[in-house]
Amino acid sequence: MLHIVNKSPLERSSLDSVLQTGADGAILLIEDGVYAVTKGNAAEPKLKAAMGKFKFYALTPDVDARGIADRVMDGVTLVDYAGFVDLVAENKTCQSWL
Amino acid sequence: MTTKKFMFVNRKAPYGTIYALESLEVVLIGAAFEQDVSLAFMDDGVYQLKKGNQTKGIEMKNFQPTYRALEDYDVTKLYVDQESLTARGLTADDMSVPVEVMSRAEIGKIMEEQDVLLSF
C-alpha cells in the first residue's frame, strides 16, 4: 500500500498514525509532510526506525520549495510528479492520511 | 494616532497553508500605519525563514524575498525561538534574514509587553 502524508510531523500526528497502523509498503511525503525527512528534525529517529518496514519517498518540488533539498536524510528516494503517479500506479491501494 | 505594540506570532510552515503569506500581508499593513511591529517565529513557523526556497516546481509565489523587504518598513524586530529551531535541525545560519534567536521563555516575556497579538 502507498501511504501519502501531507502534514508536518511536528504539528500533526498523521505520520505517527501511519507508522503505528501500517505494516509495510511505501510512504510518500508531500507538501508540509516533507519536513519529516530532514536531517536533525525531532521525528528523524522514528523515521529511521521505520525504514526497515517502509520505503520512504519525498516529492522534489515540495522539498525544493521549502529550501530543504540539502537536508534530506539518507535512504529517502526523491520523486517528481511523474514519479508520484508511478507510485500510485504500482501500488494496489493508496491512502492519503489527511 | 497612538502607537501600539503589535506582535505577529507565526507558528505555521510556509506554502502548505496560507497562514504565513497572510501574516506577511497584515504585517505590511500594520507597518504602513506606523505601529510598533514585531514578529515571533515559533514551532513550524521557523520554517518560514529557512533559506533557499525554490517554488517554481509547485507553481506558487516564492514570498521569501518579502521578509527581506520588512526592513524597508522599519520592521526589524524578528524573534526566533531557539527550541523550535533545534527540534527541526536548524540553526540561526539557516535563517534568510537577520533575526534574534532567543528562548521560548524570553519570547513569552516580550508577548506580555504587547498591546495586540495576532496569531497565524
List domains and CATH numbers for chain B.
5-119 (3.40.1260.10)
pLDDT mean over B110-116: 97
Residue of B72, B87, B70, B88 lying closest to B27 (CA atoms): B70
**Closest-approach residue (CA) in chain A for B88:** A41
**A61 and chain B in contact, CB less than 8 A:** yes
B32: distance to nearest CA of chain A, Å? 28
Number of domains chain A contains:
1
> Cβ separation of B58 and A65 shorter than 8 Å?
yes
For B21, phi then psi, to 5°, come to -65, -40
Residue A15 cell numbers, joined: 505520520
Give the model confidence (pLDDT) of A58-82 as tens digits. 999 999 999 999 999 999 999 999 9
- Using alpha carbons only, what angle is made at residue A23 by residues A21 and A27, rounded to the nearest 5 degrees? 80
Question: Which of B43, B62, B90 is opposite residue A11, by nearest beta carbon?
Answer: B43
* Structural domain that includes position A24: 2-97
pLDDT mean over B90-119: 97
Question: Which residues does chain B have within 8 Å of residue A41's beta carbon, measured at their own beta carbons?
Answer: 87-89
Give the model confidence (pLDDT) of B21-62 as tens digits. 999 999 998 888 889 999 999 999 999 999 999 999 999 999
Q: What is the mean pLDDT of chain B?
A: 96
Looking at this predicted complex, what is its ipTM?
Answer: 0.91
Instruction: Confirm whether pTM is higher than 0.80.
Output: yes
What CATH number has the domain bearing residue A74? 3.40.1260.10
